[in-house]
């Protein structure tokens, strides 16, 4: 789904293509989640990395992008760079190399100790943001420090939930897209991790949202929720209209 002349939301995937940068962007893959769960007693087989590789592969082919930007929370554990995280990150880097994709990591709040991989791999790691050609790409846990035309963030893991009169409900990962107070554009990416189902934006009060972008820099109610379905994205309209809706 093309949302303007620069940006494509790839159908059915939590992936953005930024045309002027010839880059695909994903956010919040949280690699190493399964390893962490296993160390806590739940044996979840590793599947997340395979899924992430799959969407990167598909979207790099369909767009012809030459670079992948991951805008934060590449890994899951705050307190350490765990062995299983290092392993999965290494595998992802090699995979991107094999596809001929350059790699840029922007650090998120989970990415402590990520710099340690620099000794092994030749990757760009940005502490706070990437700002190129008017696109400001950051994790979204801290306020922007530069002026730009277009802001891309992750961190919030947005999703939308729709309740039915019949009692069922459907929860979908969603992109949030619209204007900030300063008239610049904002795009919030859903989490790439298959394990992160997300925060139901239309059920959450503004003050309870995680990202200062959504709390202080825009009216989240005016953003459009573009939900990810199977093989396609559907624009469900403004968040405001999705609050307290039963169909």
Binding site for other proteins (CB under 8 A): 33, 37-38, 40-47, 161-164, 166-170, 172, 194-195, 197, 203, 205, 227, 229-232, 234, 236-237, 241-242, 245-247
Alpha-carbon separation of residue 150 from 114, 130, 216 (angstroms): 27, 12, 16
Closest distance of CB 67 from other proteins, Å: 29
**Smallest distance from the beta carbon of 165 to other proteins, in angstroms?**
8
In angstroms, what is the minimal distance from the CB of 187 to other proteins? 20
How far is CA 106 from each of CA 72, 110, 125, 129, 238, rounded to the nearest angstrom? 5, 11, 6, 6, 29
Nearer to other proteins, 89 or 152 (CB): 89
Report d(CA 115, CA 205) in Å as an integer. 35
* 34/111 with CB nearer other proteins: 34
Kind and range of the H or E element at 37? helix 33-39
Whether 142 and 212 have beta carbons less than 8 Å apart is answered as: yes
Q: How far is the CB of 53 from other proteins (least distance, A)?
A: 14
Question: Helix or strand or coil: residue 190?
Answer: coil
**Residue 5 or 43 with smaller CB distance to other proteins:** 43
29 vs 144, beta carbon nearer other proteins = 29
CB of 160 to other proteins, least distance (A): 9
Residue 135, classed as helix, strand or coil, is: strand
Nearer to other proteins, 98 or 244 (CB): 244
**Alpha-carbon span 71 to 135, nearest angstrom:** 12
DSSP secondary structure, 64-109, as one string = --SEEEEES--B--SS---HHHHHHHHHHHHHHHHTT-EEEEEP-T
State which residue, 179 or 241, has the beta carbon closest to other proteins: 241
Minimum Å gap between C-beta 175 and other proteins is 15
């Amino acid at each position: 789904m093309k949302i303007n002349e620069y940006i494509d939301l790839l159908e059915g995937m939590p992936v953005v293509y930024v045309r002027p940068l010839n880059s695909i962007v994903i956010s919040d893959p949280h690699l190493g989640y399964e390893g962490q769960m296993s160390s806590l007693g739940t044996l979840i087989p590793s599947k997340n990395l395979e899924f992430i590789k799959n969407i990167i592969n598909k979207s790099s082919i369909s767009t012809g992008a030459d670079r992948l930007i991951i805008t934060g929370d590449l890994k899951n554990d705050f307190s350490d760079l765990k062995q299983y995280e290092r392993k999965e990150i290494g595998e992802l880097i090699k995979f991107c190399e094999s596809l001929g994709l350059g790699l840029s990591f922007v650090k998120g709040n989970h990415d402590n100790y990520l710099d340690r991989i620099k000794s092994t791999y030749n990757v760009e790691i940005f502490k706070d943001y990437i700002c190129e050609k008017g696109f400001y790409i950051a994790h979204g846990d801290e306020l922007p420090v530069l002026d730009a035309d277009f802001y891309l963030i992750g961190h919030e893991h947005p999703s939308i939930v729709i309740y039915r009169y019949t009692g069922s409900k459907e929860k979908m990962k969603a992109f949030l897209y619209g204007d900030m107070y300063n008239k610049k554009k904002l795009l919030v990416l859903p989490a790439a991790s298959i394990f992160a189902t997300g925060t139901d934006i239309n059920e959450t009060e503004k003050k309870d949202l995680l990202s200062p972008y959504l709390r202080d820099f825009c009216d989240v109610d005016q953003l459009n929720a573009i939900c990810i379905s199977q093989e396609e994205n559907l624009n469900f309209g403004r968040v405001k209209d999705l609050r307290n809706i039963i169909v």
